[in-house]
Amino acid sequence: MTLYREFILDHKGVWPIFVAFVKANYDALIDAGLPLYIIVTTAEKKRNTLQNARLWWLYKTIAEQAWVNGRQFDKDAWHEFFARKHCPKTEMVLPDGEIITRRKSTAEMNIGEFSEYMQNIEIDATTELGVRFE
């Protein structure tokens, strides 16, 4: 049995619904040997479409202006380059037991993380690559 449900407690009417959901499922899950995990956190909004559009404009501008070792790279190459350079890294265990380090996807970032990520790209592009954003 897989159970998944999210509740955003953004007004008082959600609380009784949340409590009723837990009451309705708790006993059956415990009897089945399945713990019910409840995680409480403040909401952090994911990056938005305007931020994402701006990010790809940055990559496009960099692709048009930047030269490295006598060649230019497309926006997808710049996306991967900057993501590897500036995204946080986490360890992941694969099914065969191998432990790898992977970067956090930009799609997983919240608004603040994404803003900082874009600022780092702009700083690198202007100071190291001579790109001008206008």
Give the residue-averaged pLDDT of 16-42. Answer: 86
Read off the pLDDT of residues 81-134 as tens digits, 9 standing for 90 and up: 999 999 989 899 999 999 999 999 999 898 888 989 999 999 999 999 999 988
Residue 2's pLDDT is what?
Answer: 63
Q: Of the spans 5-9, 15-19, 125-129, which averages the highest pLDDT?
A: 125-129
The pLDDT value given to residue 23: 93
> Does residue 1 surpass a pLDDT of 60?
no
Please give the Cα distance from 64 to 131 (Å, whole number).
9
Q: Residue 46 in 3-state DSSP?
A: strand
